[in-house]
A = this chain, B = another copy of it.
Amino acid sequence: MFERSPAERPMPTSTIEDYLKAIYAEQLARPGERVTTGRIAEALSVTPGTATSMMKTLANAGLVSYEPYGGVTLTGAGEALAMRVLRRHRIVELFLVEVLGMDWSEVHPEAERLEHVVSEKMLERMDALLGRPTFDPHGDPIPTARGDVATTDHPSLLTCEPGRHRVARVLDQSADFLRRLDRCGVVPGEVATVGARDDDGPVVVETTSGRHAFDRAAAAQILVEPVQDPATRS
């Protein structure tokens, strides 16, 4: 009868944190659209009924606005919480790579668990040790402590001009794909030279490790930033 009383703000469970992250990711992927329970269920590998009941829980907690048969959107509080979790996730990932020397292909599952238990204090220490980083190992932007995220707008290997580019971000973060990119030297920060493309063939890029071909689906997952290179410019 009287849900959502003002004072009682029980600590969000890790399940709730993961749902909010998933909703945020879906919202980013299709801006403007409401996120359906089906997509959420898919993203979290639960049955549709489970997602529906969780949406009611989130709505009651004031974290999403939920319209039966009409999907959800994050409220301000929901987005703020999603940002805090995303910040923890990405700082942890970078920490695992930079400080513990783990591989960028294996840090995601670890961060998926750590993001729920790392204290504010510990996060601050990691952030400081890393030098207040702004991007994680996959090139994803790290939200600030106040919850702001940089929105970048990079072309992909499929849409960029031919020429020299710096790898900025990798969207497909499956371990296999990341390991393959590692072998190719196609990792954020590295420079790759994109060859001339035809309309439906693979994209060929050259890195320090040689020449590599990516099919169009793979190429679309790799975002780049043109390099202003005086040496190559006329």
* Interface flag for A114 (CB, 8 Å): yes
Q: Which of A95-103, A154-162, A224-232 contacts B (4 or more CB under 8 A)?
A: A95-103
> How many copies of this kind of chain does the complex include?
2
Cβ contact within 8 Å between B102 and A125: yes
- Indicate if the CB atoms of A96 and B114 lie closer than 8 Å: no
A1 within 8 A of B: no
Q: Are B125 and A106 in contact (CB under 8 A)?
A: no
Give the interface size bracket for A toward B: 10 to 19
Q: Which residues from B are CB-within-8-Å of A118?
A: 114
Contact, CB under 8 Å: A121 / B102: yes
Which of chain B's residues have a CB closer than 8 A to the CB of A122? 96, 100, 102, 110
Note all chain B residues with C-beta closer than 8 A to A106. Answer: 121
- A132 within 8 A of partner (CB): no
Residue-wise interface mask of A (132-149) relative to B, using a CB-CB cutoff of 8 A (1 in contact, 0 not): 000000000000000000
Residues of B contacting A101 with CB < 8 Å? 125
Given contacts A99-B99, A99-B129, A110-B121, 4 further A-B contacts (CB under 8 A): A100-B129, A101-B125, A109-B119, A113-B117
Docked Cα-Cα span, A110 to B124, in Å, equals 14
Query: Would you give 19 A-B contacts (Cβ < 8 Å), ordered by A?
Result: A96-B122, A99-B99, A99-B129, A100-B122, A100-B125, A100-B126, A101-B125, A102-B121, A102-B122, A102-B125, A106-B121, A109-B119, A110-B119, A110-B121, A110-B122, A113-B117, A114-B117, A114-B118, A117-B117
